[in-house]
Amino acid sequence: METNKKKLLVDIILFIDFIILAFSGFVLKKVYPAGENSGRAGVLFLFDRFQWLKIHDITAILIIVFLLIHLFLNWNWIKCMVKGLFKSKTNNNLENGNK
């Protein structure tokens, strides 16, 4: 698979995973808040609290994995940008007479 297609696929997966992670976090915070009655709310929004916790945990792990893949695929770009930042400052100092 072409590198740009891999990057696009990873970015799409990261976006969808982030939406699921954010939504499950919202449901856990607002619909099933932690406390003494946390497991007694029953089934709301298709799942109970413990299923939402499992979804939230799995998507959190997936987002870390795909974030690492994203960084790996873009590592050369990241190195070039960081080098460019430092070269830019060094060149500006030399042009202004500061050595």
> Is-contact 65 12, C-beta < 8 A?
no
Which domain covers residue 49, as residue numbers? 3-73
pLDDT score for 38: 63
> Per the domain annotation, does 9 fall within a domain?
yes
Shortest CA distance to 35 belongs to which of 56, 49, 20?
Answer: 49
> Per the domain annotation, does 99 fall within a domain?
no
Distance, CA of 19 to CA of 71 (rounded, Å): 20
- Prediction pTM value: 0.74
DSSP sequence for 9-41: HHHHHHHHHHHHHHHHHHIIIIIS-SSTTTT-S
Instruction: Write the DSSP symbol of residue 47.
Output: B
> Is-contact 3 41, C-beta < 8 A?
no
Q: Say which residue, 30 or 38, is predicted with more confidence.
A: 30
* Count of helices and strands (H, E) across the chain: 3, 0
Domain count, the chain: 1
> Per the domain annotation, does 10 fall within a domain?
yes
pLDDT surpasses 80 at 72: yes
